[in-house]
Amino acid sequence: MTDRAKLLQSFMGRVAARNAGQDEFLQAVGEVAFDVLTVEKAHAAWARARVLERLTEPDRIIGFRVVWENDDGEVEINSGWRVQTSNAIGPYKGGLRFSPGVCPSVLKFLGFEQVFKNALTGLPLGGGKGGADFDPRGRSEAEIMRFCQAFMTELARYIGPDEDVPAGDINVGPREIGYLFGAYKRLRGQFHGALTGKGEAFGGSALRVEATGYGLVYFVEAMLAEEGRELARRRVAISGKGNVAAHAAEKAICEGAKVVTLSDRSGTLVAEDGMGQDALDWVRERKQAGQDVADPPRGLGLAFREGVAPWGLVEAEIGLPCATQNEIDAKAAKSAMDAGLRVLAEGANMPLTRDAMEALREAGVGYAPGKATNAGGVAISGLEMSQNSSIRPLDPEDVDRALRRIMGEIHNRAAEEGRDGNRIDYRRGANVAAYRKVATAIAAYGVL
């Protein structure tokens, strides 16, 4: 066994003993540990401080009951959490997710990833994540509002602009942030930037909604530019139909690429010749109405393939998984490669299983991890925080320029650390660059 393998085995043994059965969390830690432990070991102060192991234990996990009344006057009970992973380089920062699968293991993995992602943006943002096991599908507008208000009744005491600044994530968009911020403001009697992703009329930043998807495309353009290539005319397969997927599709089309798929749990929409804005508008309407995409109208150039994911369905050189964790396994990765995949950049958080990642690596497919590629959303959240505290909103053009610049810088940080001969290991680069920043802070604070 190599020294690296031994180091990893004993580290993961300790982390697994403390987190038995928390599969997503152990997967996320294992990926970072593989790249970072040798860097930690080579730096005496970081090794002594046991920085990475400390980061595997969140600063705290707040759990609470959410009780609310549905439209039939019945009492409903959900569980809510906020995982405050690390505030080593800034206030806790990360989204809220409402979905039946939300549980401490998933939030711990997302909070852990967020620490690294936020460090990569170059902004002073710590990491955390939260949410509830609430399924908003089929709920009325009034039910969503009451749920958000009940959720904030408890969360409000743990957040604040210098303390913890939540934002949206899956099923928490501008509408939910509006209800959550309204409830926060009422409970605390203060108007300040304790949440990001707000509407522009009440402190939100231009382009916050678009930022994750647009930023993903800017990152892909930076990756292609490394090889002297550009995005225009390339075929792009995208999974998901939510905020990240829809805006990545919009930006890719605007940059001249052909978006050949979008998807949801019902199946995949295929546009052999690339989607137009009218197809995107229809998908967005469907999402807003809480309906799936199973019956595209004629005339939009869309075919529907029931019950299958986009990978390998249609020829595509670039893959952007934008749905959820572990959506691509080794078999799906292989199908995508058979259909021409050469570059894969993650819009979702950890959409690839370990085996899928290995399959891409062996085949030499360019791969970039979500903590680098989907950091555009949280980066613009950081700009929203600074616009709130300086009371100076920025124009959309300024925000877009800042987003492109920040994504370029994240790309360069990851590329610099990850350069290996004439290829770039973006995963290693992103993990190591982010770790160095956080480790410097943690070691400076002493034993806490």
Active site (catalytic) residues = 129
Is 196 among the residues that bind ligand GLU (CB under 6 A)?
Answer: yes
Q: Residue 120 or residue 269: which is nearer to ligand GLU going by CB?
A: 120
Q: Which stretch binds ligand GLU (CB under 6 A): 60-68, 374-382, 405-413, 431-439?
A: 374-382
| Least CB distance to ligand GLU at residue 378 (A) | 4
Local structure of residue 341 (DSSP, 8 states): -
Q: Which stretch binds ligand GLU (CB under 6 A): 25-33, 220-228, 373-381, 423-431?
A: 373-381
Q: Give the count of beta carbons closer than 10 Å to the beta carbon of residue 395.
A: 10
Is 240 among the residues that bind ligand GLU (CB under 6 A)?
Answer: no
Binding to ligand GLU in span 160-189, by CB under 6 A: 167, 169
Q: Which stretch binds ligand GLU (CB under 6 A): 87-95, 130-138, 182-190, 226-234?
A: 87-95
Cα separation of 133 and 140, whole Å? 17
Is 82 among the residues that bind ligand GLU (CB under 6 A)?
Answer: no
DSSP 153-215: HHHGGG-BTTTEEEE-BTTB-HHHHHHHHHHHHHHH---S-SSSS--GGGTPPTTHHHHHHHH
Is 418 among the residues that bind ligand GLU (CB under 6 A)?
Answer: no
| Least CB distance to ligand GLU at residue 434 (A) | 13
| Least CB distance to ligand GLU at residue 271 (A) | 27
| Least CB distance to ligand GLU at residue 167 (A) | 3
Q: Residue 268 or residue 388: which is nearer to ligand GLU going by CB?
A: 388
Q: Find the farthest-apart pair of alpha carbons in the chain and give their distance in angstroms, rounded.
A: 65
Whose CA is closest to 164, among 131, 190, 199, 127? Answer: 127
Whose CA is closest to 328, among 253, 414, 411, 238? Answer: 238
Cα separation of 167 and 37, whole Å? 31
DSSP 234-264: -EEEEE--SHHHHHHHHHHHHTT-EEEEEEE
Q: Residue 59 or residue 317: which is nearer to ligand GLU going by CB?
A: 59
Q: Which residues are CB-neighbours of 5 under 8 A, at least 6 positions away?
A: none
Q: Residue 322 or residue 415: which is nearer to ligand GLU going by CB?
A: 322
Task: Give the bridge partners for 237, in sequence order.
Answer: 261, 319
Q: Residue 123 or residue 439: which is nearer to ligand GLU going by CB?
A: 123
Cα separation of 66 and 151, whole Å? 6
| Least CB distance to ligand GLU at residue 401 (A) | 19
Grouping H, G, I as helix, E, B as strand and the rest as coil, residue 409 is helix
The amino acid at 14: R
Among 94, 126, 136, 213, binds ligand GLU (CB under 6 A): 94
Among 84, 325, 353, 381, binds ligand GLU (CB under 6 A): 381
Sign of the Cα torsion 227, 121, 353, 46 reads positive
Q: Which residues are CB-neighbours of 37 under 8 A, at least 6 positions away?
A: 4, 7, 8, 11, 52
| Least CB distance to ligand GLU at residue 95 (A) | 3
Cα separation of 191 and 158, whole Å? 16
Q: Residue 46 or residue 81: which is nearer to ligand GLU going by CB?
A: 81
Q: Which stretch binds ligand GLU (CB under 6 A): 92-100, 269-277, 399-407, 424-432?
A: 92-100
Cα separation of 429 and 100, whole Å? 33
Is 95 among the residues that bind ligand GLU (CB under 6 A)?
Answer: yes
Binding to ligand GLU in span 290-349, by CB under 6 A: 349
| Least CB distance to ligand GLU at residue 342 (A) | 26
Q: Are 217 and 251 in contact (CB under 8 A)?
A: yes
- The number of residues that bind ligand GLU (CB under 6 A) is 11
Q: Tell how far CA 440 is from the center of its chain.
A: 24
Q: Residue 130 or residue 296: which is nearer to ligand GLU going by CB?
A: 130
Is 377 among the residues that bind ligand GLU (CB under 6 A)?
Answer: yes
Is 84 among the residues that bind ligand GLU (CB under 6 A)?
Answer: no
Among 15, 26, 378, 432, binds ligand GLU (CB under 6 A): 378
Is 93 among the residues that bind ligand GLU (CB under 6 A)?
Answer: yes
Instruction: Tell me the residue nearest to ligand GLU as measured from the CB.
Output: 95
| Least CB distance to ligand GLU at residue 123 (A) | 11
Q: Residue 359 or residue 385: which is nearer to ligand GLU going by CB?
A: 385
Sign of the Cα torsion 380, 444, 372, 416 reads positive
Q: What does the binding site for ligand GLU look like in residue numbers (CB under 6 A)?
A: 93-95, 117, 167, 169, 196, 349, 377-378, 381
